[in-house]
Structure 1
Amino acid sequence: MNTPATTDDGGTAAGAAAAVGARQIAAQSIAVLEANWRTTHTVPAGGLYPHQWSWDSAFIAIGLSRISPRRAGQEMDALFAGQWDDGRLPQIIFDPYRDADYAPGASFWQSSRIPGAPKHVETAGLVQPPNHAWAVWKIHQADPAESRRRSFLERNYSKLVHWHEYLSGRRDRNGSGLACIVHPWESGTDNSPLWDTVMKRIPGNCKTVLNRPDLQHADAGERPSQKEYGKYFWMAERYRDHNCDDADPDYPFLMEDPLFNTLLAVSELALAEIAGELGLPAGPHLERARGISAALEALYVPELGCYSARDATDGTMVHKATVNGLIPLLLTELPHADALLETLYGPRFMGNNALMVPSYDATAEDHNPALYWRGPAWFNMSWMVSVALEQQGHTEKAAFLRNNIARLAAEQDFPEYVDPWTGAAHGTRSFSWTAALALETTYHGSPS
């Protein structure tokens, strides 16, 4: 993979320094991605996350597409190889040689025994947010000729359609037009305050002996607690023991998440582009994107000025402001865009000179800028907000976020997440999507 050329800004000294800085950041980012490459895919981090994660791979592929569309395509091919018969793309595809290094692993899920799961690889039964069609379209855009030569879109279009049909079908548990997540891990924002209320009714008496290899790579104060893990495992056990069939009538965790459903809508729009490229009807994808966008309006909470999650078991709205509720800004015809922008720039998020977007309301009493999804800023979330701001015409604010994503990533050894105000690193280091998105920002504004 090659370090990028940078765009010419007229030859000023400041421009030359910025170009050198961008090249250095790109080179450092590439080194992280190379170190985390495992023959067919990229692991999120060599120690803490030794397998292939679903939405991680899509973010990684978006960054990789800027320098090696072929490598980015391999990333997605490896993920699609774990697709289930019902269409789901699993949260994790396991490395059989690293089962002791992450819990729950392949020996917990035993997926090859579950009807409809692939037999050639072991996977988790859960899923993650559907950013995959978005990534596939970006890979194609990076080198359309190579994509066409390899039939990249043709190979993956039907797989993506099947994935979306699963989410819009079996996961729309109450006919609202929104997909439900069945576990906090499916949200990608594992211990977000959005799940606090429903988690109170989840038993913690799981059957599995809780092994925490994650604590060998990150401080306990930066990770979910043992009590939370007991509840996570209880839900995973119940879902697994029902063959991951989504038909458990009394399953207690069914949440409609604005982040998850926004990415489903964004990916439907990407599928419309893919269909158009393939000479197929784009209309059905556009219609589904509009339907999801319309259904999302039920998740808007005026007093928060953003979207939030809804408990699909009883219709209860969660009244907490999180970064999940800002991600609908990616939808360009959003009715509440002005309100979301005001919230983003206000005291709950960026209003107190934040460098990146906090994951949780900075004015909340239980905000913690070091604890996983309960306050720190994550690079993927800030990157998505920067994309949304660019689309909304807020180019200076978008550039501010992009610059901080790249700078803090390189300065802090590509951390999992950071303090939103100081930029202090937390979680594991040499984190792949941090490197990939830092790399992507160094190319912003240059041809794909």
Structure 2
Amino acid sequence: MNPLESAAAAVLIGNWRGSYTVPAGGLYPHQWSWDSAFIAIGLRHLSPRRAQQELDTILSAQWADGRLPQIVFHSGRDDGYSPGASFWQSSSIPGSSAVQSAGLIQPPNHALAVLLVHEADAVASERRRFLERAYLRLVRWHEYLRTRRGGDEGLARIVHPWESGMDNSPYWDACLAGMTQTYDNDIPRPDLMHASPEQRPSNHEYGKYLYLAARYRDHGCDDADADFPFQFEDPAFNALWARSELALATIAELIGADPEPHRSEARRISTALEALWSEDLGCYVARNTLTGGLEEFRTVSGLVPLLLPSSPHTGDLLDLLRGPHFRLGQVAMVPSHDLTAATFDSARYWRGPSWFNIAWLIAEALFERGFTEEAERLSRNMDEGALAHDFPEYLDPYSFAPRGTRKFSWTAALSLDLSKRLEASRSARVAEEAEVAR
């Protein structure tokens, strides 16, 4: 192992909890849904068996309606995190999982992770029937998105900023500002014990977050509250859903099931995504489904559809990524928000800092589209930032200064994955040059 791979392995081993990995030991002491999928992608290089277990554990927390919960509280305690198990009280909600969990969800990147983990050791995966177990649960998860969260345009809607994975994105500003309701009780902020206030969402935002979570909980998490004040279609969420349908098609082929329904669903979602395209901004944006209005901000969420091979706007998105708004190759990784916007903040969470999971998604898209040089540059940029700063949660795009907590699991996992990708890329290039010289 090279120094990055050794250090990343140490983080992942340190954050392992017997059947799953916590995102970070202090700030995030439970199992998070999309974190586990990203973590498994890196874990497969250390132990395919452990990566399978990571995914088995999050998938086994599935609710009766098919949802995969945002957070699983394996200890049954709050453990210094808010809102925790005592807030959600999921055991009192019919159809919830046996283990206590949050009622919200997170972006559906799980099928992609399952496929990559299988490919890391297909023989052991087949022996353990990993794909068969995962496939049935993933189908139910995607069916939940289509039937319980599906809107008139065919996209899945989110009902909380946390469900986007990009908690305080500018997308949500107008909606939250227009809400008169807020959380009536004290707003606990144990997160501020692990990160500076200027790097986290504000108390004002948290008041709205907790109000929305409490209202959703008190309505039985049933997705039937027609007047719920926060309902959005998010481009990254839906792009990951479409991409995961493509992964499900491959999984279906491998286990002898029909792949065509998944390919058809991926095409349907990809087509529906065009309702979120902003010609003026040259990217995809979020839509408030209550008002029908588009949130005209350039954020990294609007770049994630680069992952879809059928996107009609690949050229536009690449131009945006390389231009003054995101400056690929000139700043740290990929900023979470438009560098030129008045709402840009280089330190605060999803309003400017560069995140490692999004860098991985963009690098993956660049590799697949054949932009190998840019993909490798982004991968090296990501690996250097991770190793230099003890695997931080995110980086200031200009100064490269670490932000948030350290020893962050998906930073370690995805940096490890890209290090392996760079190694394979170099080996392929050397082999090709040797063949030419022969």
Both proteins in one fold, TM over 0.5: yes
1:31 aligns with 2:10: yes
Cα distance in structure 1, aligned partners of 2:310 and 2:377: 23
Aligned residue among 319, 338, 362 for 2:296: 319
Looking at structure 2, the residues matched to 408 and 343 of structure 1 have their Cα atoms a distance apart, in angstroms, of 23
2:388 aligned residue: 411
TM-score (norm 2): 0.95
Who is 1:164 aligned against?
A: 142
| Residue correspondence of structure 1 range 6-17 to structure 2 within 5 A | none
- 1:352 is displaced (CA, Å) by 8.0
Shift of residue 330 of structure 1? 0.3
Which letter does structure 1 place at the counterpart of 2:190? P
1:148 matched to 2:98: no
The aligned amino acid for 1:179 is: A
Contact preservation (8 Å) 1:62, 1:72: yes
Aligned mate of 2:214, from 237, 262, 267? 237
Q: 2:416 aligns to what?
A: 439
Matched, 1:136 2:92: no
CA contact under 8 A between 1:204 and 1:227: conserved in structure 2? no
- For 2:10 and 2:146, the matched residues in 1 are separated by 38
Secondary structure of 1:326's partner? helix
In the alignment, the residues of structure 2 paired with residue 75 and residue 138 of structure 1 have an alpha-carbon distance, to the nearest angstrom, of: 13
| Among 93, 100, 108, the residue aligned to 1:122 | 100
Listed one character per residue, the Cα deviations across residues 298-352 of structure 1 (whole Å, up to 9, x for unaligned) are: 1010111110000111210010000000000000121011010000000000168
Find the residue that maps to 2:295 and give its secondary structure: coil
1:390 positional shift? 1.1
**C-alpha distance 324-253 of structure 1, shift in aligned 2 (>3 A):** same
User: Identity percentage over the alignment?
Assistant: 55
- Deviation of the 1:295 alpha carbon: 0.2
Q: Distance in 1 between matches of 2:182 and 2:209?
A: 10
Preserved contact between residue 379 and residue 434 of structure 1 (Cα < 8 Å):
yes
**Selected match of 1:371 from 331, 348, 351:** 348
1:350 has 2:331 as partner: no
Q: Using the alignment, how far apart are the partners of 2:75 and 2:7 within structure 1?
A: 29
Match of 1:259 in 2: 236
The number of residue pairs the alignment matches comes to: 425
Q: Distance in 2 between matches of 1:433 and 1:203?
A: 36
Cα contact 1:62–1:437 (8 A) shared by 2 = yes
Structure 2 residue runs without a partner (length 5+):
426-438
Quick one: which amino acid aligns to residue 109 of structure 1?
W
Correspondences of 1:213-224 after superposition (within 5 Å)? 213-224=190-201
Q: Tell whether the 8 Å contact from 2:379 to 2:422 is kept in structure 1 after alignment.
A: no
Which runs of 4 or more aligned residues in structure 1 lie more than 4 Å from their structure 2 counterparts after TM superposition? 445-448
Q: What is the CA-CA distance between 1:76 and the residue it aligns to?
A: 0.6
- 2:128 partner letter: R
Deviation at 1:447, TM superposition (A): 6.6
Counterparts of residues 297-336 of structure 1 (less than 5 Å): 297-336=274-313
Output the CA distance in 2 between the equivalents of 1:442 and 1:345.
Answer: 23
Offset of residue 202 of structure 1: 2.4
Separation of aligned partners in 1, 2:75 and 2:321? 42
Deviations 1:147-195 (A, max 9, x none): 10110001111100000000011101x3211000000000000000111
Aligned AA (1:336): H
1:60 and 2:39 correspond: yes
RMSD: 1.3
Cα distance between partner residues in 1 of 2:19 and 2:342? 44
Match of 2:57 in 1: 78
